[in-house]
Amino acid sequence: MLDANNWALKRMEHQVLGTIEQGAHLTGPVSVTESARIRSGAYIEGPCFIDEECDIGPNCYIRAGTSLGRKVRVGNACEIKNSIIMDYAHVGHLSYVGDSILGEHCNLGAGTVTANYRLDGGAIKMMVKDQLVDTGRRKLGVVLGDNVKTGIKSLFMPGVKVGVNSWVGPNLMVERDLPANSVAFLKQNCEIKEKKT
């Protein structure tokens, strides 16, 4: 899907029709539909497509190869790179989405990070029908099904898939695929003592 998205973005005719606030910067072939809004401080590199009623920024960095569906909301100070974000998804402020696919109605809590690069620089592997498959890609983030919600500071390792209607709790690092309709939370112990003066 990411390859097909890039193929299409490079071949389409681009137009900027939406509301572009003063202080926003668009460079290269960028499409912004009529009812979309790009807030001040946003920096958008083409090729890129921003669909109807999107609300982007402020101070976002939307990098080449990104397609945003209808009514996508990207919060303050986010970075999105080479990704597909489908209709009605919300990327909370201070988040990073790289080389990823987010389904419809996904809601990422503030500070959510999709890691897209292995520490050793090797190709990303994904589970496909219970078999580990080499994707041949050195950069690949996460694939989230529709209606996935994440808590603040969630972290996804490269090549992870999360099934539809799942929740990922705050501060959780997701290292392997999660099935549809699942809930994953981090258990922690908090010790509170009286402060000595």
Q: Which residues are catalytic?
A: 93
Distance (Å, whole) CA 141 – CA 51? 22
**Cis ω before 58 (30° cut-off from 0):** yes
The CB density around residue 76, as the number of other CB atoms within 10 Å, is 16
Q: Nearest 5 degrees, angle CA 59-CA 148-CA 46?
A: 35
Structure tokens that stand for 5 in this block: 């998205």
SS3 string, 64-104, reads CCEEECCCCEECCCCEEECCEECCCCEECCCCEEECCEECC
* CA 82 from centroid of its chain's CA atoms: 9
